[in-house]
Chain A
């Protein structure tokens, strides 16, 4: 009863501050930032609204780790570990390429939101982190919230004794995946083709070669089209081929190339132009029968809305490490599904986000395929992940990724095992330029 009364008082005080009376505020800490008239007194007390609904578990610590597999890596993993008073811990990932330091700082900015909070209230904390940040989320804040969100889901699953995909209503099934493979020599491509058949892999994705200016020449367009024809010839007629344009092309250039590659029947063309202008993406889609996929740079379901609403894409590809974690990816998928749009989540960062995305995939009726940003053959990175998790995480069996079937995200991770790869600082992403020195999209 007392807590209820206190909340009402706080609320009245809040409202009063917006008007003329400052009497309630003056009884609290003086407000030093009152110059603009927009700064309310900082909340001096914790929220007691849920005092009677506590699970009994409280967050006691939030740790953030930068993990650099190599000193040059532009995407040191940003891992979030949330500890509780019951000994249950949760892991999440908020890796943001080129901005590791900023995300780590942002996770720390959210400490006050989390310490002493009930980790079970994921949706509530997500809302608070997002709404109470006032400025809404860009990629830095989106990635920080994503890391925290995944860790909270991990905790909730562990506390409830349920794998996250089951919390989401998913079936245990295996998740169809694809690898990255660019055009190679005819021999290399033939070898790869044989390998995919043997391994049951059903899809490969290549990147559009070269960088493109706003308007392009005949020669450049011909080269682009030929490179994709070579993919079809090399990989054969039976495998699904996707091509990532990586926003290297303007809508004007993209629509020419995409029209000419229609006969190749690609599974999709990804990011045919940059992400800020949905109308521009829609224009490309209108000019081609080839499905268009995009979304890896979008933050929150709000950021995906216009794309879906305008029917500008066939396949949505948000990234669980930026879009807002499990909560954000699931919501984006839900609104896409209502419009018949499929999901092929982006995943080019670390293993925790990758595992979290598999959990969401398993619960999506509109799931198409899961990316993993690696070559078909086993790499050093796969081996490091295997050291950490006891299995290589993102290797397909019969063309499909397997889901851990343990509570939460389904793994144990030892902090000490990360210490072998200390944070070597933020490394910017690639910078490329055109012939005249001007900035190019890559």
Chain B
């Protein structure tokens, strides 16, 4: 067997395709890199500014994909990181997780959000997700009407969770940064005995002492990270024992910087559940990451309620990366990210 040739992986071209789901309006940007040798790599991130795109082009054109560790930070950095690793994996003819020393597991536990403005809608969403193979659900707290709530709100949370639990499966209670720290503490105490997998984003991460109060008052695991764009904040939370599951945003941090945060969290026995609210290319990256990390716990995969949106996600990539069975997604086995991106579909769903 000939060893793969990775000598010429200089980047020749960087393109981005902003796309939008027709019903949900969820938008994300697919990044495409090409090497001089003709390999293509894909990645995904949130919206990219034209300034960041120009700067990234200037930096990457002529540079080797194998130097992915030395990337400057920007709004496109996460997507470029995935695309670079996609190229490295393809050049090595192996999935990214094998480039990174995995697989550390043979499948990845999956989680999806169930949305609804009332209990009946939420329960219907749980049923849909159950039949799609999910066994863990991200349940949003009811929208609080005031900054601080009382017993009526606690009861509403409890009723919602009781209804979701009666369908079977496990759940994450997602505060969506909507609650004040005081309310977050009361809600945590209310749901403690229900054993949510964790209480996500119970409040905004600003003054860590306010979070300490929540974490001192209950044993409900706390998850933070979806909005944390400063890696040092993860260190602060971990050092003070305020976080039980870290959730760096995959599109923002990419695979490489998420791995660095995971390595830090590992020394605190804290697991990683990368935050992911984007499209199927990032899902593929998430699965590669899951199989590369020792302390991966679960991957959130968006599962839009509208059939049309789900169709778009299935069209964008060839492989069935977003298929979940019995609560787990299986690992891609093809080189790189393990998917083929459909460029016709990228054009079809291009955001105006």
Of the listed stretches B9-17, B144-152, B290-298, B301-309, chain A binds B290-298
How many Å lie between the Cα of A80 and that of B104 in the bound state? Answer: 39
Instruction: Give which listed residue, A217, A282, A436, A438, contacts B195 with CB less than 8 A.
Output: A217
Check if B334 is an interface residue, CB within 8 A of chain A: no
Q: Please give me the residue from chain B that is nearest to A217 by CB atom.
A: B170
Interface string of A422-442 (1 = CB under 8 A from B): 000000000000101111000
How many Å lie between the Cα of A217 and that of B99 in the bound state? Answer: 32
Q: Please give me the residue from chain B that is nearest to A250 by CB atom.
A: B269
In the complex, are the beta carbons of B105 and A434 less than 8 A apart? yes
Check if B241 is an interface residue, CB within 8 A of chain A: yes
Interface-centre pick from A259, A279, A286, A438 (highest chain B CB count, 10 A): A438
In the complex, are the beta carbons of B270 and A252 less than 8 A apart? yes
Chain B interface size, as a band, is 20 to 34
Number of interface residues of A (CB under 8 A): 30
Q: Please give me the residue from chain A that is nearest to B295 by CB atom.
A: A214
In the complex, are the beta carbons of B267 and A218 less than 8 A apart? no
How many Å lie between the Cα of A286 and that of B198 in the bound state? Answer: 19
Question: What chain B residues lie within 8 Å of A216 (beta carbons)?
Answer: 195, 197
How far is the CB of A409 from the nearest CB of chain B, in Å? 38
Check if A336 is an interface residue, CB within 8 A of chain B: no
The prevalent SS among residues of B at the interface is loop
Interface-centre pick from A252, A276, A279 (highest chain B CB count, 10 A): A252
How far is the CB of A210 from the nearest CB of chain B, in Å? 15
In the complex, are the beta carbons of A215 and B245 less than 8 A apart? yes
Interface string of B257-280 (1 = CB under 8 A from A): 000000000011111000000000
In the complex, are the beta carbons of A252 and B104 less than 8 A apart? no
Tell whether A218 pairs with B219 under 8 Å between CB atoms, given A274-B269, A277-B269.
no
Check if B141 is an interface residue, CB within 8 A of chain A: no
How far is the CB of A294 from the nearest CB of chain B, in Å? 13
Interface string of B214-236 (1 = CB under 8 A from A): 00100111000000000000000
Tell whether A255 pairs with B106 under 8 Å between CB atoms, given A217-B197, A436-B328.
no
Q: Please give me the residue from chain A that is nearest to B245 by CB atom.
A: A215
Question: What chain B residues lie within 8 Å of A159 (beta carbons)?
Answer: none
In the complex, are the beta carbons of B269 and A214 less than 8 A apart? yes
Check if B20 is an interface residue, CB within 8 A of chain A: no
In the complex, are the beta carbons of B109 and A436 less than 8 A apart? yes
Instruction: Give which listed residue, B104, B195, B245, B267, contacts A277 with CB less than 8 A.
Output: B267
Check if B239 is an interface residue, CB within 8 A of chain A: yes
Interface string of B163-187 (1 = CB under 8 A from A): 0010000100000000000000000
In the complex, are the beta carbons of B107 and A277 less than 8 A apart? no
30 contacts between A and B (CB under 8 A): A213-B271, A214-B269, A215-B198, A215-B245, A216-B195, A217-B195, A218-B170, A218-B194, A221-B195, A250-B269, A250-B271, A251-B241, A251-B244, A252-B269, A252-B270, A256-B192, A259-B219, A273-B269, A274-B269, A277-B269, A279-B268, A280-B241, A286-B216, A287-B219, A436-B105, A436-B106, A436-B108, A436-B109, A438-B105, A439-B104
